[in-house]
Structure 1
Amino acid sequence: MNIKQVLAQLDFEAREVDIYCALLTLGTASIRDIAEQSGINRGTTHEILKNLLKRGIVSFYPKGKRRHFCAESPEKLIELANDKQEKLRSATRQLVHDVIPDLNRMRSDTGSPQVKYYEGDDGIESVLKDILNTADKSESRSYDVYSSKAIRKYLYRPFPHYTLQRVKRNIRVRAIAIGEGGEDAPLSERKWIDDGDAGGQASYVAIYPPKCAMISLQEGNYPTAVVIESAAISQALKLSFNTLWMLL
């Protein structure tokens, strides 16, 4: 990761980084010299310097009728990172204790299942994260899955560290594998059923009350998913899973 990528995490734009680095090189300089060193026009340089002054990583002193600018020590960036981290921690606490409960109270409760659709690797990653986050909050800290042989090599493509995250969060899983194969992993149990004539069908069904997710592959191994949030549906699926599990 380069300097601009790192500082982007602290909300610095690329041209702000260019101006700051130009000042570090120059020591102290006028707006004209900074613009020339950074390759940015003078008007834009002046506006960027005002922003950097507000953030405290650039300072100035008068020299005649003009201002000359200098960069604060790079260690100042650590202070900014620590400040942002503390603000994020504070925002997280407020989200958990105040904002999320208030927003949930605003949601209409029609009693109808909520259905969401996802596509592509990014969509599947969102579903996998939802499985972990929901199971993490459940009393059992577990979920159940049906997993076919044909989908296994594609399922965790967008989230290769999924199993590591699951184990780290102490979440258990029971898997009924459709077809041979499947790797053993910590905090998991696996049983198998014959895939019969459906050996080429790629499917993955996760049951994590009050939700269930159904993932499949379309043409070209393009993944799609449907997530249903319904306590009644997920509990019915869990009951049928438990019954089959006991019979295997």
Structure 2
Amino acid sequence: MPSSKETLHQFGFTDSEADIYLALNTRGEMDVPSLAKELGLSRTAIYDVLNTLLAKGYIDYRKQGRNAYYKAGHPNKLAGLLEEKKRETALLAGDMEETIRQLTGSFNLAQNKPGVRFFEGEDGIHDVLDYIANGFKPNTELLSFVKVKPPQYEKQLNSAVDAFIKKRIAAGVKTLVLAIDNEEGKKLKQNDKDALRETRLVPEHDLSPGFFGGEIFMYNNDVCMATVEEERFFALAISSPAIANMFKSIFFSQWVLLS
């Protein structure tokens, strides 16, 4: 079993903080000269530590004339450290679970097994588009359900999407796009030739509510789905031939109807 000092260390006490707290706990009320003599510390160092322990509520003091006397508070006050450690441990466990999930997806992808990767936040926008671009191979065809720069996307996506399109064109990857038949969709279609793209527009009245709630990219054996909710971007990339073929079938069933 660890000593009391070792346990206090584990909960964030420094050597000096632990020594002074334990001295006050075992010897009772003491003044600064007594602590300095007992612990071999300078008075300045002791005052600094006492102020820290007072601020945290672990010790108390009283004044008698010009002298100040310090004593340890009830050890129950340390229970707050335990609760804080539990919260930190819970957060750490959550972070580790998320890391394991991410690494499992990457590991599966590296082993050519079905895998999943998750992207989030502003960095996630660039990361998922880089992930897609890095998957381009000779004769890759990119299929996309595209929601053309809705307001909540504009700030986050413009630069990332422009860079992605340049990479796609440089790689010679053509994309087939289904977009909503509105003003923005028509503008997208007008630039198809320069963007190595073919766009077909879907009448809004033919769509189920929320059908274009985000964007879906299909290529090779991969599917990437991206959206913004509560101004937070996130995307899910799935590498699975069966799932990719299912999404491609849905795409082409709509594509053929618009020919």
Which has the larger helix fraction?
2
Higher Cα Rg: structure 1 or 2?
Answer: 2
TM-score (norm 2): 0.47
